[in-house]
């Protein structure tokens, strides 16, 4: 079914507030979630609300966190989220990184002790809207076999980047370092759809097209994706003195405890390197150049990174956001959660 963007955000905000978040934090989380759904990234949108609600209700997310922002240098800082809700903490940390970048040309802000923060494209677009370049990386559950390995060690460990062009245009790049994000597997399960055979493996390490048989994900491009997920783990885990590798907390293990996750925001001010007007003009020129590239057989055009998501966002703003009926029914119900995520095997059916 389709739901208007404002209505969907309001439903999610109310559910999260009912679960225990303050209205301000619930609004911040709902804004990140509806951003994901509006761009077609449903794996990081409304389908996550019940999981968050259960974790909030059971005390695994601090509903009254004592956020602490500490500058450690002219361009470096650490934002301690006190295991508050990750979306809101990451958004606040990016606000601080934007301020520092405007003052000093660059900012590197570590975000530590937070819960899952959702779609990283939201945070890098915060920077791009301020005529800055945004880069963000974060940890996630160990559910990916390293290249040549037979058991999970790293998480999907995503990377996101955004840069501004003219007239509000921007290039946005947001990817997991796996062939596909775990949330996409969950989305396939929610719709009872099959998955491509290069996304994941079953308990025997064999490729599978059944999302319910998935026992581990695969790194993108083999050793290259493996190297990227290692880099993300170092920057958002080891660098911040947090658990790393297969010691990163599970999304589903013991929802009464905080997850202590890490994220790193890097923000660059183009004015410290070139003319901002020239920079934005050249980003827009890059976007146009890519659109004008001769398409390969089977394609009608070449899209620049983030273009299809932006087009979806425009379409959904006019037609409403497509969400699964069961998720909508949950959002409009009086139920906070159905006690289905605590101590769940992340690969369970």
Contact 159, 73 (CB under 8 A): no
C-beta of residue 284 within 8 angstroms of C-beta of residue 297: no
Tell me the C-alpha to C-alpha distance, in Å, between residue 307 and each of 158, 173, 278. 19, 10, 21
Alpha-carbon span 143 to 42, nearest angstrom: 20
Evaluate whether 127 touches 270 at the Cβ level (below 8 Å): no
What is the C-alpha to C-alpha distance for residues 215 and 163, in angstroms, rounded to an integer? 36
SS3 (DSSP) at 50: helix
Question: How do strand 68-71 and strand 76-84 relate by DSSP bridges?
Answer: antiparallel
Name every residue whose Cβ is closer than 8 Å to that of residue 33 and which is 6 or more positions away in sequence.
9, 12, 44, 45, 46, 48, 49, 87, 118
In sequence order, which residues have a C-beta less than 8 Å from that of residue 78 and are 6 or more positions away? 69, 70, 72, 109, 110, 111, 112, 240
> Can you spell out the DSSP letters for 58-69?
TTSSBSS---EE
Catalytic residue numbers read: 116
Q: Name the residue among 177, 195, 196, 173 with its Cα closest to residue 186.
A: 195
Helical spans, DSSP H, in the chain? 5-19, 23-38, 49-57, 86-104, 121-128, 182-190, 223-236, 276-291, 307-319, 325-332
**Distance separating alpha carbons of residues 158 and 3, to the nearest angstrom:** 28
Taking the CA atoms of 129, 130, 133 and 137 in sequence, report the sign of the dihedral they define.
Answer: negative
């Amino acid at each position: 079914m389709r739901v208007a963007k404002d209505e969907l955000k309001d439903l999610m905000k109310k559910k999260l507030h009912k679960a225990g978040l303050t209205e301000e934090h619930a609004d911040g989380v709902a804004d990140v979630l509806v951003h994901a759904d509006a761009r077609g990234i449903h794996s990081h949108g409304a389908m996550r609300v019940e999981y968050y609600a259960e974790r909030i209700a059971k005390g695994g997310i601090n509903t009254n966190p004592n956020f602490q922002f500490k500058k450690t240098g002219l361009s470096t800082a650490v934002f301690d989220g006190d295991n508050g809700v990750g979306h809101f903490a990451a958004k606040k940390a990016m606000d601080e990184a934007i301020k520092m970048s405007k003052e000093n040309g660059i900012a590197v802000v570590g975000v530590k002790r937070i819960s899952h923060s959702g779609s990283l494209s939201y945070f890098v677009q915060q920077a791009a809207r301020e005529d800055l370049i945004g880069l963000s990386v974060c940890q996630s559950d160990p559910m990916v076999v390293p290249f040549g390995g037979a058991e999970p060690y790293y998480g999907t460990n995503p990377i996101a980047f955004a840069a501004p062009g003219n007239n509000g245009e921007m290039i946005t790049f947001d990817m997991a370092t796996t062939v596909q994000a775990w949330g996409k597997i969950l989305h396939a399960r929610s719709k009872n759809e099959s998955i491509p055979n290069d996304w994941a493996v079953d308990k025997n390490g064999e490729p599978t097209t059944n999302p319910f048989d998935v026992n581990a994900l695969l790194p993108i491009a083999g050793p290259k994706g493996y190297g990227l997920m290692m880099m993300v783990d170092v920057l958002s885990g080891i660098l911040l003195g947090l658990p790393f590798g297969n010691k990163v907390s599970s999304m589903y293990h013991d929802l009464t405890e905080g997850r202590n996750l890490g994220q790193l925001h890097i923000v660059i001010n183009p004015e410290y390197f070139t003319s901002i007007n020239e920079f934005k003009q050249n980003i827009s020129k890059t976007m146009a150049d890519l659109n004008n590239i001769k398409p390969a057989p089977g394609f009608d055009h070449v899209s620049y990174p983030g273009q299809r998501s932006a087009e979806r966002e425009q379409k959904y703003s006019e037609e409403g956001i497509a969400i699964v009926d069961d998720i909508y029914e949950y959002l409009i119900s009086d139920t906070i959660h159905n006690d289905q995520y605590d101590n769940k095997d992340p690969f369970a059916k």
